[in-house]
Amino acid sequence: VRTTKVEIITIGDELLLGFTIDTNGAHLARELAAAGIEVARRVTVRDDGEAIAGAVREALDRTGAVITTGGLGPTSDDHSKAAVAVVFGRDMRLDEEHLAWMEARWQARFKRPLPASNRAQAILPEGARKLTNNHGSAPGVWMEDDRGRWVAMLPGVPREMRGMLADTLMPLLRGRSGDSVVQSRTLRTTGVAESLLADWIDAMEGGFPGLDLAYLPGVDGVDLRLTARGLGATAADEALDQAARRLKERIGVAVYGEGDADLAAVVLDMCRHADLRLALGESCTGGLVGGRLTAIPGSSDVVVGGVIAYDDDVKVTLLGVDPADVAAHGAVSEPVVRQMAAGARSVTGAHVGLAVTGIAGPTGGTPEKPVGTVWIAADVEGAIRSVGLRLWGDRDEIRRRSAQAVLDLARRVLLARQTEQSSNSAAEASRA
Ligand code: ATP
Ligand code: MG
């Protein structure tokens, strides 16, 4: 039976209580997708024989292909194998061969006899096939019935699970899955609302036949993920390439990258290519922009430094903002943010100065300047662009959106400068 869909059952009280995040489920889903196997459903159940048996039975009836993780260990809270034996109507029996292997392993490693509780790891459902564990002592279990429906049981410990998946289970599944793949491509956008993006995209002629388009909004913007299912690898690549190209044409400058691109890294690269060094004047973001830029290895050839100009005095004394403008317009205002950007540049000798000032809340808002009022500016060699924003969200979100917004302003200004310079040099070339 060809396997194109599976269900995943992760087992553990700690997962349901939220103490452990289900990274196994996520890892399995990604690896399976890359091999063209679609995860039809993911479920988490307690460490409880009946709960496990119930979930496995349902998944077998629905999809006929099930991967579980967890509950394979030697302790009294590990019930998975016995539960699956019940579902398949099999008895449990001691696997002498595995017991002998474990005894030898313990002697060699720990110079002690095997603890009695570890014997439980060698008790397997009758007819089970063992999946080799190169990172621990509990074997994985493969059970299949006469209709070709199967359950693969992997350990809960993430390192053991990943090892067994890569070494043993994936090779087995690849042989059963044919040659289709599930492939995705993600375009990252910022500065345009999800609903507006949707309006633009809905108006595109022809849509995206054979592909799924998902809108994934986050604090930093909206990711657009295209997914191809059930195509061969080459056809999927071509369909995704073409769709990504059409989307970029439609959405234009709001797309700042693909995959897991970081806008801070995009800005760094643009500065580096233009031989520009960059400095910051940050008020409401308190260093977030500098933090994002300097988190990237190699940022020191672009980032000069900056001033966390939180208090108005610092804006005036260190960034050279005119106190009369602070008094007349307030610290969150266009004249002040422009002078902050210019000051960050001149005080450090950088080519580019970026500045942010805003009201992150929850207090400090007024009717004229509510929480979320933010001014950003970019000064590139004396040419200053400033933008006023009304951001939403809690304090943390407003700060993060402000940081993303000023980075995006820098990107757009640098992009416009690039285009201008290349058209200037084209004009010069045509004159010559
Ligand atoms: P052991 O032999 O250690 O008992 P096991 O196969 O029985 O392993 P569990 O007891 O269910 O697995 O889980 C072992 C540990 O692995 C848990 O304490 C938890 O930290 C981690 N773990 C279990 N399931 C997951 C999961 N789905 N995602 C991430 N971590 C997990
Ligand atoms: Mg356990």
The closest of 347, 357, 348 to 325, measured between CA atoms, is: 357
Would you say residue 35 has pLDDT above 60? yes
**Residue 100, both tokens:** 């002998």
The closest of 69, 68, 71, 67 to 49, measured between CA atoms, is: 71
pLDDT band at 178 (very low <50, low <70, confident <90, very high): low
pLDDT digits (tens, 9 = 90+) for 323-375: 999 999 999 999 999 999 999 999 999 999 999 999 999 999 999 999 999 99
Q: How many CB atoms lie within 10 A of CB 215?
A: 14
Mean pLDDT over 265-288 rounds to: 98
**Residue 146, both tokens:** 């006469």
Q: How many CB atoms lie within 10 A of CB 93?
A: 14
Distance CA 411, CA 255 (A): 11
pLDDT digits (tens, 9 = 90+) for 291-303: 999 999 999 999 9
**Residue 374, both tokens:** 């933010």
Question: Distance, CA 73 to ligand 2 centroid (Å)?
Answer: 4
The closest of 402, 380, 416, 92 to 253, measured between CA atoms, is: 416
For position 328, what pLDDT does the model report?
98
Strand 38-45 and strand 92-94: the pairing is unpaired
Distance CA 212, CA 67 (A): 25
Rounded to two decimals, what is the model's pTM? 0.76
Distance CA 69, CA 131 (A): 13
**Residue 174, both tokens:** 């690849």
The closest-lying atom of ligand 1 relative to the alpha carbon of residue 47 is 11
pLDDT digits (tens, 9 = 90+) for 381-404: 999 999 999 999 999 999 999 999
Question: Distance, CA 292 to ligand 2 centroid (Å)?
Answer: 39
pLDDT digits (tens, 9 = 90+) for 409-423: 999 999 999 998 888
SS3 sequence of 233-297: HHHHHHHHHHHHHHHHHHHHHHEEEECCCCHHHHHHHHHHHCCCCEEEEECCCCCHHHHHHHCCC
With the most atoms of ligand 1 within 8 angstroms of its CB, the residue from 157, 159, 162, 165 to mutate is 157
Nearest CA to ligand 1 atom 18: 157
Return the percentage of the chain with pLDDT > 70, whole number: 98
pLDDT digits (tens, 9 = 90+) for 188-243: 999 999 999 999 999 998 889 889 999 999 999 999 999 988 788 889 899 999 99
Ligand 1 near 227 CB (within 6 A): no
